[in-house]
Copies of this chain bind each other. A is one copy, B any other.
Amino acid sequence: MENSLIEKYVFGVDIGGTTVKIGLLDVDGHKVEAWEIPTRTEENGIYILPDIAEAIRKKMEDRGIKDSQVVGVGAGAPGPFGEDGTIFRAVNLGWSDFNMKDELHNLVKMPVKCGNDANVAALGEYWMGGGQGYKDMLMVTLGTGVGGGIIHDGKIFNGATGAGGEIGHIHLVDDEPNQCGCGNHGCLEQYASATGAVLVMTRVLEERSEDSVLRGKDFQCKDIFDAAKNGDELAKEALRRYGEYLGKGLAMIASTINPEIIVFGGGVSKAGDILFDLVRASFEKYVFPGAKRTKFALAKLGNDAGIYGAAKLVLDSVNNQ
């Protein structure tokens, strides 16, 4: 019988190409502390997991947390995962394919559960963020690329080869001359990412002759939103098209999986509710009528989504055993 007066903890780890974010949470999802360590990708990334294990051990020592008080360690990393915890193609960490779950477990000697970082972030937003209270959620992350994660019945929807929720690569435009990073042409990510918004604006500037504060400038996604807010007509046109692309892509996804809510995260989502206005008309135009009322919400956890989701991942896995 556990003594419920003794605080129980869980660690959530979010492994990125530059830094690893580690969170110490209580089992109810309250963040006690979060900190970062560098991701040492040298020598094929052999130091990454030992560094994480050492950081966790040190934190437990510093805070006087015993092994019996820690439910486990969850970790998200940038790659698809097999069901057994094998990570594939995490090239930007320097890794070849290996069983990350087993290796991290051997280091920390506690229950471990691993998952794809985008899916894990979606689980975090479902648990403690913008998707709280909804069991079927689509998370779309609008950053340098377009990522995503599907939560179905409160759990990550992985798909057969871990590519479930890879919504950035839904095909959208037939005659796109530029190639997407995935090798295809005309993927959602090519228009709906922050980089995509810049491409869309660049094309508007090429097509149209009117003046714009962005003409001849080296601009970023945020500058387009700012210009539109200040009445720049071409920036407004670019955002209209941006919303049309994103709304159409989300409509295709919602026609397939019919989520209760779509949670928008990533850098572009900092634009706030205006994003919903841009997307809603296009979404409703293209989506199956039965899914028209899908709710929209903004992500709430920012860069912490990964540590929350990783913590939830191991909590669920231990509770289901």
**A interface residues, Cβ below 8 angstroms from B:** 80, 136, 150, 152, 157-167, 169-171, 182-184, 248, 251-253, 255-260, 285-291, 293-294
Q: Which residues of B contact A290 (CB under 8 A)?
A: 80, 161-163, 166
Give bound CA distance, A257 to B165, whole Å: 6
Q: A157-B152, A171-B248 are in contact. Are A289 and B182 (CB under 8 A)?
A: yes
- Are B258 and A170 in contact, with the CB atoms below 8 A? no
Give bound CA distance, A289 to B171, whole Å: 12
- Are A258 and B288 in contact, with the CB atoms below 8 A? no
- Copies of this chain, complex-wide, total 2
Q: Pick 6 A–B contacts, CB within 8 A, sort by A.
A: A159-B291, A161-B291, A167-B255, A169-B288, A171-B255, A256-B257
Q: Which residues of B contact A260 (CB under 8 A)?
A: 160
Q: Which residues of B contact A294 (CB under 8 A)?
A: 160
User: Within the complex, what minimum Cβ distance (angstroms) separates A293 from chain B?
Assistant: 7
Interface residues of chain A: helix, strand, loop or mixed (majority): loop
Q: Which residues of B contact A152 (CB under 8 A)?
A: 152, 157
- Are A258 and B159 in contact, with the CB atoms below 8 A? yes
Known pairs A160-B291, A165-B258; list 13 more (Cβ under 8 Å): A159-B291, A160-B260, A160-B294, A161-B258, A161-B290, A163-B255, A163-B291, A165-B256, A166-B256, A169-B289, A170-B252, A170-B255, A184-B289
Task: Indicate which residue in B169, B183, B287 contacts A255 across the interface (CB closer than 8 Å).
Answer: B169
Q: A184-B286, A288-B182, A290-B166 are in contact. Are A257 and B255 (CB under 8 A)?
A: no
Which chain B residue lies CB-closest to A165?
B256
User: Within the complex, what minimum Cβ distance (angstroms) separates A209 from chain B?
Assistant: 25
Q: Which residues of B contact A167 (CB under 8 A)?
A: 255-256
Q: Which residues of B contact A159 (CB under 8 A)?
A: 136, 257-259, 291
Which chain B residue lies CB-closest to A160?
B260
Give bound CA distance, A260 to B286, whole Å: 27
User: Within the complex, what minimum Cβ distance (angstroms) separates A162 from chain B?
Assistant: 7
Give bound CA distance, A204 to B115, whole Å: 48
Which chain B residue lies CB-closest to A166?
B288
Give bound CA distance, A169 to B255, whole Å: 7
Give bound CA distance, A49 to B286, whole Å: 36
Q: Which residues of B contact A287 (CB under 8 A)?
A: 171
User: Within the complex, what minimum Cβ distance (angstroms) separates A308 from chain B?
Assistant: 23
